[in-house]
Each structure stands twice: as C-alpha cells, then as structure tokens.
C-alpha cells in the first residue's frame, strides 16, 4: 500500500495545482439543517471540482452538529470521493492511549479518511495510534490561521537559540516523521511563520488554510511554503468555491491562479523555498515581499520617512529623511520592526546582538526581547569614569556579535563599531539593518569581509509608494534622482 503523502504528491503533479477543496456544510449553505441536505451539498461540490482538486477536506464539526445522521452522511461523503483524490478529515483530535486509538479507528476505519488533523500538545504517544496506520497520514497543528493563535503558539521558549512554540512543534514533527506520513498545519495568514517552518522542516507537507475570507495572501503563502521542488503545500478553499455562482469555474480559476503563483515563486527564487533573499533584498531592489508592504506603509505614516528639503550631516540637501528614532513613540510599530529583524537574524549564527547608539538601541532591545538574544552595545567613547568600559553589557572574548543598526548608508559608522567590538575580542561577520539606502554600504562592507542584511531597501519602499500613490510622484522622482536610481 502506497503512503498517503506519496498519493498526495502524485495527485498534485497530475492536476497541476495545490488546491484542496474544503467540504464545510454550514447552516447558511443548506436549505434546511439536515444530514441529507449536507450530503447533497457536498456531493454536488465534489462532482463540480473533482477534476481540479488535489485533495478534499471535510470538516467533521459541521457533520457532528447534525447528530448521528450527520456522522453517517460524513462517511458517505468520504466514500463518494474518487479513489485517486486524497481525503483529509479536519477533526483536530487530541487524546492519549485507548481514546486516541478509538479516534484513529473512527477516522480511518469507520469514516475511511486518508489523513486527519491532530493537536500536538499531548505529545508523541498521542499521535502513535494514527502514525502507526499503514497508508494513512497526519497533519499536525503547528501555527494555525486564526488571530488568537499567537496567544500560545508564538510564546518564546527558554533556551538558545530562542524558539517560539510553533517552531518547536515543527522541529519535533520533522523528527517524528519516521514513516513519511506526518505533515503540518500552518496558516497562510502568517507567511513569516510559513517561511520559518519551511526552513525547520524542509521536506514535510504543509496544509495552509486562511487564503480568502481570513485574509491570507495566496502568492505570499506559496512563496513561503513551497518546497524546493515546487510541491509540499496544500491550500484549502471552501467558501470561495462553494458560495460562488459557478463552483466548478471558481475552482478552475483558483487552481489556475495557484499554478501561476507557484511558477512565479519558483522563478523568483530558483526554487520554491522562501529564503533569506526575500528578506534580504540586496542592492538590486526588486519588489517588497507581500508581508513587508504594510510595514513600509506604517513607517511612512509614523513619520519615520519624511519628504521635503533636509540638510544632511555631509552638507548635502536631501529630498528625503529617514528618522527611525520616531519608533520609540510607537510601541506597536517598534514591535513589528523587531519581528522583521528577528526573521533575518534567525538565519544567522551569533552569540550576542551588538546594537549601535543611538537610534538602534531601542530597536536592539526590542529585537532582544523578541528573539531572546542577549544584547551589548559599543559606546561611542569609552567612559572616563566608573568601569571605563568601551562595550556595555556582558560578553566573553571570542564570541560572535552581530551588528544591529537602523540604516545603512556608506557603512562608516558600522566600521567604527566593528573596530571597537573586535578590539574587545569579539568576532563580527554580519550587519543587520532595517533599511539599506543603497549608497554603497553593502559594497564597502563586503569588500572588508562583512555581510550586510537588510529587511528592505529604500528603492523597494519608493517603488511601493509610487505604485500605490502614497507619495506624490514629483517627490518620488526627486528622491530617485538624488539617490542615483531610476526606473
């Protein structure tokens, strides 16, 4: 008997899309709240979409709500799905010992599902009755799509490097997948989490709900969650298909869009994996990843980016001024910025953050709290009193520090800080900033053997604001001219 994920992969390759059709017969979808109406609703949807569906996902709750007849209808629904199409029972079960075994018999023996969604929070023994079934699969809840998922799943765990709970689940799942029958549920509403889970579990299949009514972006989800072979991700759709005037056409259009977005994702990175290049755009610009566009807009709204006439330290008159010191007056925005830094830092190897005075000190503190990394900072001048130290904070010579600053312009301030850090016995390989102005810092640092990582470039931000008409075109043009960049 072939395994569930082998059959799923074969099906995805055959139909050419990642579309998973949700079978959710809610009261508003039925002419009357009966098991017969729910059965008819699902059979019609299966018939209309079977040629493009990579999988079907009935939600047990809607059938359970209809009593014993609803449970029997669910069994009929699963039996009606063509054998070539995998069925995932969305039940989110979780229990131990004989109770878990009973749930497994219900899902696989009575209902006939090919896979089931489970909760991870009772540990491996609660999953074994499901994982031990030949030919069956499990999707483990990891980072769910709902807004409240962060209440528990985003909590930082003790230890180094810092890990969020959902990241721990992903790592455990990767180790538990000894029979190639374990996948994860990660909401498309959180592309950053999808990207991190994909890095932790590069081979696992991911079920990514949340596109559509919950606001998840399809292209961002595919960019973040696809494996390097362009597979490994299922995107459920329920109401967007079932409640359309023509479900068949809606499914076909959605499947075609998924295929197009998959190709775009593959072309963009050379593989399906959402990697550091998406967060670390380099000096060439390119479009902002979807999850960073809102952050760029909020920086503009908060006054961290200003347009006008500003005399710089060099004496030049600039049409733009970046002032990230304003972040200290916007705690929510500062926290969002810290998350963006954290995503970049997660892929680097270091022992301590080294934030540069003065604008980066509050940023560094926020990042330290987000990631659980200890922070130090090099003073601009050594104290002539008290301890007389040049580096504030605890460290051990020989450790590696990553330099954290707000902006990168020419790189001069970075070199000064690196000199003080290395003089104290620390090693430096990487510099991380929020915005790269594209004024030579990257090239200067690379020539000296250091790597610059930027959450976004100024050119990307200008392109965004120009396209969305957030900034008058004459100001955009003046800034591009000043920076020496043109479209």
**In contact, 187 and 209? CB cutoff 8 Å:** yes
The token duo for 7 is 């059959």
Distances (CA, A) of 82 to 54, 78, 317: 11, 9, 69
Dihedral sign computed on CA atoms, order 415, 421, 427, 431: negative
- Residue among 394, 402, 317, 320 at smallest CA distance from 360: 402
The token duo for 138 is 């499990």
- Residue among 283, 210, 222 at smallest CA distance from 255: 222
The alpha helices in 290-359, defined as continuous H runs, are 290-301, 331-345
Question: Per DSSP, what are the bridge partners of residue 88?
Answer: 115
Q: Is 414 part of the annotated catalytic residue set?
A: no
The token duo for 24 is 């959710």
What is the rounded CA–CA span in Å between residue 331 and residue 335? 6
What is the rounded CA–CA span in Å between residue 416 and residue 432? 15
DSSP code, position 326: G
Distances (CA, A) of 217 to 190, 213, 223, 291, 398: 9, 10, 10, 9, 43
- Residue among 120, 112, 259, 247 at smallest CA distance from 182: 120
What is the rounded CA–CA span in Å between residue 130 and residue 287? 43
- Residue among 186, 170, 172, 131 at smallest CA distance from 3: 131
Task: Count CB atoms within 10 A of the CB of residue 109.
Answer: 10
Residues 6+ apart with CB under 8 A from 361: 355, 377
Task: Count CB atoms within 10 A of the CB of residue 476.
Answer: 21
The token duo for 136 is 């069956």
57, 92, 136, 414: the catalytic one is 92
What is the rounded CA–CA span in Å between residue 192 and residue 292? 10
- Residue among 256, 328, 281 at smallest CA distance from 19: 256
* Residues recognised as catalytic: 92
């Amino acid at each position: 008997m072939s395994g569930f994920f082998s059959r799923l992969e074969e099906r995805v390759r055959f139909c050419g899309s990642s579309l998973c059709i949700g079978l959710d017969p809610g009261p508003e979808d039925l002419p009357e709240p009966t098991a017969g109406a729910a059965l008819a609703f699902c059979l019609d949807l299966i018939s209309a979409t079977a040629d493009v569906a990579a999988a079907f996902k009935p939600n047990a709750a809607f059938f359970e709500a209809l009593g014993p007849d609803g449970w029997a209808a669910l069994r009929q629904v699963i039996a009606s799905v063509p054998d070539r199409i995998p069925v995932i029972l969305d039940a989110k079960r979780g229990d131990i010992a004989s109770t878990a075994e009973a749930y497994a018999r219900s899902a696989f023996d009575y209902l006939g599902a090919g896979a089931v969604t489970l909760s991870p929070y009772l540990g491996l023994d609660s999953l074994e009755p499901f994982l031990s079934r030949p030919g069956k699969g499990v999707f483990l809840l990891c980072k769910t799509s709902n807004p409240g998922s962060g209440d528990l799943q985003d909590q930082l765990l003790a230890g180094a490097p810092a890990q969020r709970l959902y990241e721990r689940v992903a790592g455990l799942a990767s180790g538990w997948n000894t029979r190639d029958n374990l996948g994860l549920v990660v909401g498309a509403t959180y592309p950053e989490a999808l990207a991190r889970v994909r890095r932790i579990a590069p081979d696992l299949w991911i079920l990514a709900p949340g596109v559509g009514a919950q606001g998840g972006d399809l292209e961002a989800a595919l960019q973040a969650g696809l494996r390097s072979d362009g597979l490994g991700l299922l995107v459920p759709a329920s109401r967007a298909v079932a409640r359309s005037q023509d479900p068949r056409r809606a499914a076909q259009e959605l499947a075609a869009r998924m295929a197009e977005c998959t190709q775009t994702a593959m072309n963009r990175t050379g593989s399906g994996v959402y990697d550091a290049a998406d967060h670390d755009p380099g000096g060439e610009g390119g479009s902002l990843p979807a999850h960073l566009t809102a952050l760029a807009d909020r920086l503009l709204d908060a006054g961290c980016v200003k347009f006008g006439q500003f005399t710089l330290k060099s004496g030049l008159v600039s049409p733009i001024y970046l002032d990230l010191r304003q972040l200290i007056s916007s705690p929510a925005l500062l926290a969002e910025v810290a998350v963006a830094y954290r995503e970049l830092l997660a892929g680097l190897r270091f022992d301590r953050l080294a934030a540069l005075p003065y604008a980066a000190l509050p940023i560094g503190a926020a990042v330290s709290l987000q990631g659980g990394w200890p922070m130090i900072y090099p003073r601009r001048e050594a104290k002539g009193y008290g301890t007389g130290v040049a580096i504030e904070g605890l460290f051990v010579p020989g450790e590696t520090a990553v330099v954290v600053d707000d902006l990168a312009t020419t790189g001069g301030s970075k070199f000064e800080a690196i000199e003080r850090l290395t003089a104290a016995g620390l090693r430096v390989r990487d510099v991380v900033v929020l915005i790269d102005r594209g004024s030579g810092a990257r090239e200067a640092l690379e020539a000296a053997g250091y790597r610059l990582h930027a959450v976004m470039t100024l050119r990307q931000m200008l392109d965004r604001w120009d396209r969305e008409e957030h900034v008058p075109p004459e100001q955009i043009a003046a800034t591009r001219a000043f920076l020496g960049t043109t479209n």
